[in-house]
Amino acid sequence: MKIIIKTRDRPNYLKALLKELKGIDYLIIDDGSTNKDMKDFLKGKNVIYKGGERGSNHTNEFALNLCKKESKWIILDDDVLINSVAVKKIGFILDLYDHVYVENPAKKDWPYGFLLGGTSELLEKIGTFDLDSYGPYGFAHIHFTWKAKLFAKAFGINMHEYRIIMQKGYGSANQKIKKKFNVNRSEFPDPIALARDYVPPLTKE
């Protein structure tokens, strides 16, 4: 199972995450970090360096493209706190389901936190991130999950919610952003509406 961690200039978050992932093989995508502590910490690790000039949206697309030939994969941000036990459990879940996402306890059916799990078959059915329509910064994972939900029945996609209310081993290190998002959710665009305009690869001529 391929595990990809996306990061940029947040060494403390990344250190906290990697501490919990002992014994797990992972690939780090660094999206143009300039922080000296970050650069020093990444030395000797399995890292792909990107310039960061094109922004996180293109990094998300790049990460999913790396997963196209992987039978199972997980992509997460560096501020996601998940332990090795939970990662292995998601791996078992992906033996039965095409897509795993994290349920937001504050609002059902609105995924919270950038953690996506999937299969190569899922990417064949719905594609990766559509850079023209998947939504603004911070919404790529939400749009991807709603895209999968939208075509689940037609394409035979099995979905699984990873419930953080019931499960231990998952959380966000970035509590400030988490609080702001939950309080001001009404100010954000509707990812469902964004996903409805998407045309998946299998429906294109």
pLDDT of residue 75: 92
The answer to whether the pTM exceeds 0.95 is no
Q: What is the mean pLDDT of the chain?
A: 75
Beta pairing class for 72-77 and 115-119: antiparallel
Domain that holds residue 80: 2-203
Domain count, the chain: 1
Domain CATH number, residue 181: 3.90.550.10
pLDDT per position as a tens digit, 45-98: 999 998 766 566 778 888 999 999 899 999 998 888 788 888 888 898 899 888
Strand ranges for the chain from DSSP E: 2-7, 27-31, 47-50, 72-77, 80-82, 99-103, 115-119, 159-163, 170-172
pLDDT per position as a tens digit, 140-197: 777 788 778 777 777 788 887 765 433 445 566 666 655 655 555 455 445 444 444 4
